[in-house]
Structure 1
Amino acid sequence: MSGVGGGSGPVRVPEEIITDNGKQFTDRFGKYRPRTGEVLFDKICRHNGITHRLTAPASPNQNGKVERFHGTVRPDFLDTAEAFTSLAEAQAAVDAYVLHYNTDRPHQALDPRSPVTPADRFQPVGAQQRALVDLWLPPTLDSVPAAPIEPVAADAPPVHVQEPAVQPGGPVEFDRVVPASGNLMVCQRQFWMGTQRAGMVARIWADCDLIHVLIAGIRIKTVRSHLSVNGLATLTRQGATPAGPSPLPPIEDGDAIEVERCVNRGGGVCLGQHIVLAAEILAGRRVGIRIEPATLMFYDLDTRELLRTRTNPLNPEQIKRLRGARPAGPPPRPSIEPVRVQRRASNSGIIMVAGQRVALGRLHRHQTVAVTVSETTLAIETTDGDTKVIRRTTTQPVRSIKGQRPRIATSVS
């Protein structure tokens, strides 16, 4: 195997290879932790078109040649060899032992009356019969051919090699194989891909803002990135490559875009250098924001239900610099279901709903009543069991659900 990792150019790549189920060979099995389905050995086989076959569990007889090799090389070579000081020294010793085994040492299973060696019975396949191809290796294993060493004067100043500049935080791409469970693990985050996609190769595009999952060039998922610049650098060291353009279509001037933000305790979100009020009842909730030239539309990320509409305070240059911006989807729509709220009547029996004053009378003072707010009517349910329906005279949205804190939104079922 000395020609495999030496960076010496084309080598003979096998069509198939068989191994046991060791963790260094595969990560397809196991029940005690999430499995990615692919380790480095599997990845090298896939990139080079090598079929990786596995033996059945607890069946070393299915890989007898390798087991026999272990039983020979350990007593004949490893048990008598001195400690190696470097990988190159170990490789040279292994090469010398293999040469002696094949050409000098008589084989015990061959005719003892005319001792022969394996080299006398077997001839290597000629280069014209086995094509030589370039072996793919990840950057962490692909070694650089050594340059000829020239003598250096004793008084020569030390030479400092400047490493190529790498753009920190730039997007990267890498592959993952969807495991049999359909639950893909990417950088300590789980992506549910479904069992119907088990065995497929997923292309991951990641930067500090977004993570895209693509299969066969089609974007399957896009989520907010949890990676930092250091996380992207770690992925690069593990074999990730600099990414091309984002899978999202480019944003043209004047197009609507969308971002995701978390609403703070005061009901506001941060957009660039602006704090924009969303709604107090949305505090602590993650919402999507559709940004149009003159309007901000806050919506639910799961249902795309329109929650609030505000005036856009950003200019076009500020919109272009927003973190996590992506092309907008279809416009969010308001819920067609009425909203159920609670109000506590004042000392004079008056409640305020969506900017409209409703007099219930002193009979209901200090009572908490339920109000169903629709587009055209207010249905007030009093404590005595009666329901009073009046015409709605305002268009203001409902700002609070309960008459006192905590205020939590609920819809009529």
Structure 2
Amino acid sequence: MAEGDESGEHGPAWLVEQRYRAVLEVLDGSPVSEVAVRYGVSRQAIYTWKAKYEAEGLEGLREKSRRPRTSPTRLPAEVEALACEMRRANPRWGARRIAYEIAKAGSAGAPSRATVHRVLERNGLIRHQKQQHRRKYKRWQRETPMHLWQMDLVGGIYLADGRECKMLTGIDDHSRFVVISTVLAVPSGRAVADGFVRAMRTYGVPAEVLTDNGKQFTGRFTKPRPAEVLFERVCRENGVTAKLIKPYSPTTTGKIERWHQTLRRELLDVSGPFADLPAAQAAVDAWVHTYNTARPHQALDMATPASRFRPNPQPEPTIVASPAPAEEPVVAAGPPGPPTLLVPTSAPAVEFETVVAATGHVGVLPRVQRVKLSKDYAGRRARVWADEHTVHITIDGELVRSAASCLDAGNLRELSMRGAVPAGPPPAAPAAARAGRLEPGTVIEVDRNIDQSGIASLGKVPVTIGYELASRRVTLRLDGHLLHVVHDGVLAKTLPAPIDADQRAGLRGARIVTGELPPSATGAIHVERKVPTDGVIMVARQRLRVGRTYAGEIVTVHVEDTYFRITLNGADLSLHPRKEQHPVTRFRAKIHAPKL
């Protein structure tokens, strides 16, 4: 390839030159067959090049996009945006669960699991993992409910005073319905037997029960000789066949072990220490109720465990090991509300001038981050624009390099102390209006201010972004038939694109984007509230009692699907079950100025 040749979206420059020479030879009188042999193409190709050159000149010899103008079978933009929103609101949902929820919502043209997987992969919402070739096991399942219960003890439930509690768990083998979820301060044999009897009072007596070889479940390993423990006696006197797994074979009770993993990931790992034992039991009961009645199970063909479970018509056990407990309140599972977003805050950006080193590096904060440039820029003055997400390097007003930032808020304050000044808007890429006609697939970004009603304007088209981003400045990324909303370097929302591709080049402040889509916001929603004198705050239309001791303090409320966790300066204060699924509409605490 000759020096100076470039490769772009329309193919290398030498290809145009080759076609141009072939056309010139034909125009000079050379036979088309000989020209085709010399250039290694067919005669039809030579005639095609000649016709395009006569019609359009050199531009006609460039490679044109072969993308189809229409795609009748393409997934509707509304459905694709809904799939992306479901994934961001529920990061643990897979393609199968999202496809099921879309079909359940009654959306037209519900996609298959494979289609949803491709949508998530195309929008950067899937993190690829290394394939693990696991050992294959033989699956088994009882034919009817109440035939077999799998039971076990699980730890990892911590209280605010530092104690670790255990929980007695039980699951119906056929329906995956959780029949036992009792938090125990001391996992004694009496407590385990009492929890088992309470479950039989509620749902009936199962035919069999399968456990491991723990001392609460069996006395076969009791020294100096085997003995019958209380749990075995309860099973014997109620006609329940007590089965034990082979030692060191936890896969036999795989259903209850897999449920423990789900419990840890979705509740215990994110809840932190509970205030006391009743608070832990209330949070577990609320989560289990949602698991049984509202959450579809993939092993049940996306049916809920409650739809497959049928209690025994004779629920009363013949032998009562402990008094019947008081009736526990049932947390109502309301309809799921619209997904709410976590809008993270960021430290203000700074900018300063520096000199490019002889190696071509620009030291943003040398011990934290250096950005590599070409050695051709050595000795020249560069202007650095930096925040917690991005670092832009400009030289003589031209954007040279953009890189992911390694700085945090403390590093930005250190730069300010070294002479950096508050930054203006980030350097913009070349405007789309100066790029001429946009090629198919070009991605466009614009910056817009969201008004108090949550609406932004694209040209003359109003776009409803959402009140959670009201009065904020966001970046709107138009990619194909989708509109991505980016705020503070985090992908906040995906919507259908409101304008066609041929209208985007003329948008105010539009710029061509070549970088990757930023990551989406994950985790629980964090809101702030100032505790009033009565010690009661309001979150999502629900009253949460914090206590008059913390009056005047600004607390953080972690909003999950089934509970609210209140913290102050990183310390847990209390945990409250979430009774309704109303969306969060206010994220900041109202702090009134003192009266003069």
TM-score scaled by structure 2? 0.24
| Bigger helix share | 2
Q: 1 or 2 for the larger relative contact order (CA 8 Å, sep ≥6)?
A: 2
TM-score by length of 1: 0.32
Q: Which has the larger radius of gyration?
A: 1
